Amino acid sequence: MKNFEQKYGKIWRSQFESDPSAKNKFYLNVAYPYPSGAMHVGHGRTYIVPDVIGRFWRMKGYQVLYPMAFHVTGSPVIGISRRIAAGDEKTIRLYSDLYRVPQETLDTFVEPMSIVRHFSQEYERVMSRCGLSIDWRRRFTTVDPTYSKFIEWQYLHLHDQNRVVRGAHPVKYCMGCDNPVGDHDLLEGEHAEIVKYVLVMFSWNEYAIPCATLRPETSYGVTNLWVNPDVMYQKVRVDGQKWILSPEATEKIRLQDHDVILDGEISGADLVDQTVSNPLSGDIQILPAAFVDPDMATGIVMSVPAHAPFDYIALRDLQQQGKYLDITPVPLITVAGYGRCPAQDAVERSGISNQNDPAMEVLTQEVYNAEHSKGRMLPEFGGKPVKEARVEISELMLERYGSAVMFEFDNRNVVCRCGTRVYVRILQDQWFLKYSDPEWKANVHNDLKSVTLVPPEVRAEFTRTIDWLNDWACTRRVGLGTKVPWDKDWLVEPLSDSTMYMSYYTIAHKIREIAPELLTPDVFEYIFLGKGDPQGIPRETLDDIRQEFLYWYPYDYRFSAKDLISNHLTFQLFHHDALFPPELRPQGMVVFGMGLLEGAKMSSSKGNVILLEDALDEFGADTVRMFLVGSAEPWQDFDWRNELVSSVRKQIERFWNTINEGIQSGDSYDIDAWVLSRMQKHIEMTTDALESFQTRQALQEAYFSIESDLKWYRRRLPEGVRSSAVLNSIASVWVRMLAPFIPYTCEELWTLVGSGEPVGFASWPQPDYALVDTNLELSEELLSRTVEDIESIIRLIQIDTASITLYVAPAWKWDIFRIIASASDRKKVMGEIMKNEEMRNRGKEATDAAKQITNQIHRFPPELVSSIAAGGLDEHAVFIEVQDFLQREFGVSVSVVNAEESSHPKARAALPFKPAIVVQ
């Protein structure tokens, strides 16, 4: 089947170039890749799922646009280039061994753009092999001169609106690159957030000992400090004040806009048993604790054993050794469900014996969350809700008690792609996007209401991100990208130049024909907003470009990973709100889950990947596509497992063989009508699933459900017959239904069963409800379930079978079935049944049957229950008609008996749609 890839790959290259037409449009786009390494199968799913959706809507008659570009802004390729030039063995092995870059090409990687050119070409080639229906005319990179002109226009607008401002803010900073970094620049800690701590100052002689906390309201309850006796702390002057910090904290504080001078050292052991004081807690002791991490905040921790489980259990451990018995927890907060000291109560109830118990982390978070959401300060500490007290006490400490602010990551293992550790740094004179602006936030919240989100539950994450998003450092000194138009010393950073490129796709193939120097801000103002009178370019050219933009925009759906909700996906909502009118803002977004390899997260930098091209070579494009689409819904995590991928290839081969066999069949049989009836439902269900972006469910219907039907169909054909004319009649429908998923195979089969046009442009099948025969489908469902029950019984009793008798339920049990099936409250349905005199006369027999039928209905799919209740199925007639089939299947005589006409004790067990079965 790989021959089909070569055959159709070249043909498809130009087939999917999409221009405005009289058709309705469907414009989808996906996060463009950063071409600094080879694609892995996780990337494959990112681009294949949108392609399936695009192909579906194209077959539905829409003008579909699926464009692609390459994101090269920033410093990652510069860092890679420098490491290769420096002979870094790990980097060179990654590119030579994992990515298999030829040595002569690798030698050119000392120049960053050589990396970009190599991998962007490889991406395009591999994407094409995957059968992606991309309009490659619109390809660009984010360092193209024309794209930079577009970015300049965008940022001049934002600057004029006072949405880009200069200031000092904490940012992620790589000391190796000497540059702010974003998530895409990170090797580890991609989702780390910057957390703001309050430093509570404790006085000791002439020094202040700062302790970082997120819960300043608990300062009243500090009973002691913890220091690590094995750490050599530093005596430093911070902005002229004497502090004691761990060495790691000294460097962190230095980066946060403080003047820091080292005066000397003091061991943690020398601090143990010293007395410190704070206005809120009074005099307290310093206690030893080997668990204190010098790399966490200031390296010294304040202890609140009444409200911090770790503090409580650490103090308890010391006191069990007979030490510090005079220290007792100080309760501050009351919270429902906990005792006077919540931390103590939680630890003791959980039976936790020591600090190393893995349950401690979860327990701590539960206590903290409960106190923050439902807690209230005790009356002697103000009596206010903890949420209010936290803000007030924080302000009080900063204003009156010498406290300061320190920024730290919530995840300490944050590493740049260059291999250097990343710190929080406060930058002066940096340019920031003012995402903190309340008015802008309110506008974006309102915009979000009209955006369709898939799955719907991610809306809460978008809302949360809009709320907490703060000013964002949008410029850098070093890297590739567009210079800030009013301050050429700075470059627009990677995430900040990737917020509006979806609109640029619509004009990319036409705008590149214009010399960059002619692309003034006025040109883009006219193209995107219809304002002004730009000079130097013919008006008909500009009008043509603007009409192209207006045809495609706004985009219909954007596909991206769920980890980008906290930055890119929300950023683009802000920027669309600032630049475009409401009618040109995003319509929908589909959020992807993560990719796993044999259960572990995929990571190119860590080598835990299967390269996409390797997968294509081993399994073929259609197999890779079908596995990636069928393994999970887009928003779910998927797990690549080679043995499962191999089974998918066999499934495609079965489909191929079935279609080819069907073409050669000519005879018709009664059971053909059942296949045609079932096919209409599969068309409907597949269509509904794809319209809802449930690509896995769609594939289940379009392939597995149909294959299951055909397996049963073949059993029902006369002995020795494998296929019939109906397979020929459904071949065209089935090929079209699977064309979005396995386009190469279907394109080849279409030459046998379709019309002259490519299958990717053939019309999507429509259900023909005139072919639907509900009673026939019910009859076959009853038969297949009964066959399964007979097979189960035979396996269980393990005796030679001589005969089979089926006892079908009497009419009165069918009456009970219909009453229960239609009842709004099945718990109270017995009263309705007993209104019938016949049922009352039957007494316990009727009540027992009602209970059995109720249990049966709960086990059936709701749709089947409705069909059974609505249909007028004559079970006796159904089984008489298929008696020969049953006798052939089991090789014995089969009798069909009305249950009430038999004295056999098992006959009474017959239920509607579940005959009693006696095997002798």
Q: With beta carbons less than 8 A apart as the criterion, state whether 34 and 122 touch.
A: no
For 77, 228, 265, 269, the CA distances from 232, given in Å and listed in that order, are 39, 9, 7, 9
- List CB contacts of 74: < 8 A, sequence separation 6 or more: 182, 184, 185, 476, 479, 480, 481, 493, 494
Token pair belonging to 580: 């475009």
Query: Beta strand 893-898 with 803-808: parallel, antiparallel or unpaired?
Result: parallel
Domain ranges of the chain: 2-159+450-597, 194-409, 659-772, 786-919
Token pair belonging to 134: 């991309």
pLDDT at position 605, please? 60
449, with CB counted inside 10 A (0-12, 13-18, 19+), is exposed
Give the right CATH number for 194-409 from 3.90.740.10, 3.40.50.300, 3.90.730.10, 3.40.50.2300. Answer: 3.90.740.10
CA distance 371 to 374: 5
Eight-class DSSP state of 797: H
pLDDT, tens only, 451-467: 999 999 999 999 999 99
CA distance 250 to 235: 9
Angle, helices 862-870 vs 811-822, to 10°: value is: 130
CA distance 690 to 687: 5
Token pair belonging to 216: 């300043």
Q: CA 804, 810, 811 angle in degrees (round to 5)?
A: 145
User: Three-state SS string across 804-862, please?
Assistant: EEEEECCHHHHHHHHHHHHCCCHHHHHHHHCCCHHHHHHCHHHHHHHHHHHHHHHHCCH
The SS3 call for residue 535 is coil
pLDDT at position 191, please? 79
CA distance 640 to 48: 15
The SS3 call for residue 783 is helix
CATH superfamily membership of 659-772: Isoleucyl-tRNA Synthetase; Domain 1 (1.10.730.10)
pLDDT at position 186, please? 82
Q: From the first residue on, what is the mean pLDDT of each consecutive set of 10 residues in the chain (920 residues)?
A: 83 93 98 93 95 98 98 88 91 92 95 95 96 97 97 97 92 86 81 92 97 95 97 97 97 96 97 96 95 95 95 93 95 94 93 84 92 94 94 93 94 83 90 96 98 97 95 89 95 95 98 97 98 95 98 98 93 98 98 82 69 95 96 93 92 94 83 96 98 97 96 91 86 97 96 89 96 94 95 89 94 88 79 79 85 90 90 91 94 94 92 94
Q: With beta carbons less than 8 A apart as the criterion, state whether 853 and 817 touch.
A: yes
- List CB contacts of 3: < 8 A, sequence separation 6 or more: none
Strands (E), 35-102: 63-65
Alpha helices in 69-170 (DSSP H): 76-85, 89-93, 103-106, 112-129, 145-160
Q: With beta carbons less than 8 A apart as the criterion, state whether 621 and 5 touch.
A: yes
Produce one character per residue of 670-682: b if its CB has 16 or more CB atoms within 10 Å, e if not: ebbebbbbbbbbb
Which of 16, 17, 20 has the alpha carbon at shortest distance from 552? 20
CATH architecture, range 2-159+450-597: 3-Layer(aba) Sandwich (3.40)
Which of 381, 28, 418, 460 has the alpha carbon at shortest distance from 219? 381
Q: With beta carbons less than 8 A apart as the criterion, state whether 471 and 436 touch.
A: yes
For 18, 357, 628, the CA distances from 691, given in Å and listed in that order, are 21, 48, 18
Token pair belonging to 95: 């590119």
Integer distance in angstroms from the first to the last C-alpha of the chain?
50
Q: With beta carbons less than 8 A apart as the criterion, state whether 555 and 502 touch.
A: yes
pLDDT at position 603, please? 66
